[in-house]
Structure 1
């Protein structure tokens, strides 16, 4: 049986644009240049669109060195939401943080919080959040009144 590791929630305030809160620090993106967001169908196939959105955003922001890791993270977050959420859509947000990083988040309407598992070698599933954990500088989730936001931060210089 895979070991279950419970992670504490790291709560971020819910703020309407143009101010976006990340780790309790407002980032002003009034002109939209530092944020991309899209509502996607709650299907595993939406990961293709999610990867395109994150790739284009990172290339526009001269963060191309983060594309491979960010695409994998977004794929896992969307796949988890597609499997566990209840509503017919999810929300992908890609936010530039400082000069060398990106914050990606998938918001869904499930109150079931993510659990990082350590599956055995023969396990067929359960590795998604382990991938997110290994590729990101930080990750977590924010409980919302109607669901949750699962996020990851990727950083690094070119």
Structure 2
């Protein structure tokens, strides 16, 4: 197991980002980052959904890319939307799986799609950012 001593970094627009090893254990650190950001912004009611989404995005990066590290980010780009993303250096685009009925895997992006307002990916010269957005409840 690799241990890193990374600190979350503010991103300008209200948000946080952290680089973590591309390994399953990093999902825990990503969930903590998302949970802390949502709590800071006073919208902790989105924590369960947000932490599940970031776990799935980390899992996809671990399973489908050869990357050594990934960058987790959470941003409040608008008052009514939160964007959670995982960036890696692979340019392979994410595709929803076609799992068999009895298969234990292959449903991560379907779960992300069903839990989020919208999701997608942005290709860059250096790799890609896979993201999902959550709507912020009107009272927040």
Normalising TM by the smaller chain, what interval?
0.7 to 0.9
Aligned to 1:145: 125
Conserved 8 A contact 1:40-1:92: yes
- Give the superposed CA RMSD: 1.4
Q: Please tell me whether residue 46 in structure 1 is matched to residue 22 in structure 2.
A: no
Aligned to 2:114: 134
Q: Give the superposition deviation at 1:139.
A: 0.2
Conserved 8 A contact 2:34-2:74: yes
Aligned to 2:105: 125
Correspondence for 2:38 among 51, 58, 69: 58
Q: Give the superposition deviation at 1:147.
A: 1.4
Deviation string 1:100-153 (CA, Å, 9 cap, x unpaired) is 321011000111110013433211210100110000001001111131110000
Aligned to 1:156: 136
Structure 2 CA distance for aligned equivalents of residues 107 and 88 of structure 1: 12
1:6-155 equivalences under 5 Å are 18=12, 29=13, 34-155=14-135
**After alignment, is 63-72 or 118-127 more displaced?**
118-127
Structure 1 CA distance for aligned equivalents of residues 118 and 20 of structure 2: 24
What is the TM-score of this pair, normalised by structure 2? 0.85
Conserved 8 A contact 1:63-1:100: no
Name structure 1 gaps, 5 residues minimum.
1-16, 19-28
Name structure 2 gaps, 5 residues minimum.
1-10
**After alignment, is 137-146 or 46-55 more displaced?**
137-146
**After alignment, is 84-93 or 53-62 more displaced?**
84-93
What is the TM-score of this pair, normalised by structure 1? 0.76
Structure 1 CA distance for aligned equivalents of residues 43 and 80 of structure 2: 7
Query: What is the total number of aligned residue pairs between the two structures?
Result: 128
Conserved 8 A contact 2:88-2:127: yes
Structure 2 CA distance for aligned equivalents of residues 119 and 65 of structure 1: 31
